[in-house]
Amino acid sequence: MILQIVQTGDPVLRKVARPMSVEEIKSATTRHLIERMRDTMQAAPGVGLAAPQIGESIQLAVIEDRIDYMKDVPSEQLAERQRSPVAFHVIINPKLSIVGEATADFYEGCLSVEGFVAVVRRAENVRVECLNERAEPLTITAHGWYARILQHEIDHLNGTLYIDRMETRSFTTVENI
């Protein structure tokens, strides 16, 4: 079942989402929610979806950057963005750390700011400590586009949208990019 993705202006997108308990993470309700979020993300299509984007103010996001999303992207662009496939996974109660000082500026969009993109500066390297869907501790070290996805989704869990970080004069419609 595809869930409705809330759009900018909905108050849930501006709240800091609450952490999830181990019992809550392991529940059948959360397992079902993760499946529905995965289906919704893939149908959009998107590379990440945070629970606040479907109206749930909890610290949970799903991420997947599928190889078929890259088939029409020139190899030079994939290399410039340091983009490669990322298998489906879940992050819960994440803590983000920036690794080093390297940053990159690229256009970014969002399923909750439909039809628009803007240039956003993000750290090139990050470390995320979180729990997975079984409430097991997980440490993710990421660089390039994957690091950007993690930063974007974790921002959602903290009530921040990419439009808060964008280079304002770069804001444009998808058609005009």
User: Residue 1: what pLDDT?
Assistant: 86
Q: What is the Cα–Cα distance from 81 to 103, expressed in whole angstroms?
A: 11
pLDDT tier at 177, thresholds 50, 70, 90: confident
Asked if residue 1 belongs to a domain, the reply is no
Which among 129, 153, 167, 175 is annotated as catalytic? Answer: 153
The percent of residues above 90 in pLDDT, for the chain, comes to 99
The number of residues in the chain equals 177
Q: How many domains does the chain have?
A: 1
Label residue 107 by pLDDT band (50, 70, 90): very high
| Phi, psi dihedrals of residue 105, rounded to the nearest 5° | -110, 120
Q: In whole angstroms, give the CA distance from residue 30 to residue 84.
A: 28
Distance CA 87, CA 62 (A): 10
Between strands 116-123 and 48-50, the pairing is unpaired
pLDDT recorded at residue 87: 97
Report whether pLDDT(164) > 90. yes
- The string of pLDDT tens digits covering residues 63-76 is 999 999 999 999 99
**For position 111, which CATH number holds?**
3.90.45.10
Q: How far apart are CA 48 and CA 63, in angstroms?
A: 4
Range of the domain at 111: 11-173
Does residue 3 sit within a domain? no
Residue 153 designated active-site? yes
Question: Is residue 34 assigned to a domain?
Answer: yes
- How many Cα atoms occupy the beta-carbon half-sphere of 101 within 13 Å? 0
Q: Is residue 5 part of a domain?
A: no
Three-state SS at 143: strand
**Token duo for residue 144:** 């390039």
- Sign of the CA dihedral 42, 44, 45, 49? negative
For residue range 141-162, what is the model confidence (pLDDT) as tens digits?
999 999 999 999 999 999 999 9
Cα separation, 115 vs 69, whole angstroms? 18
155 is a domain residue: yes
The pLDDT of 100-119, averaged and rounded, is: 98
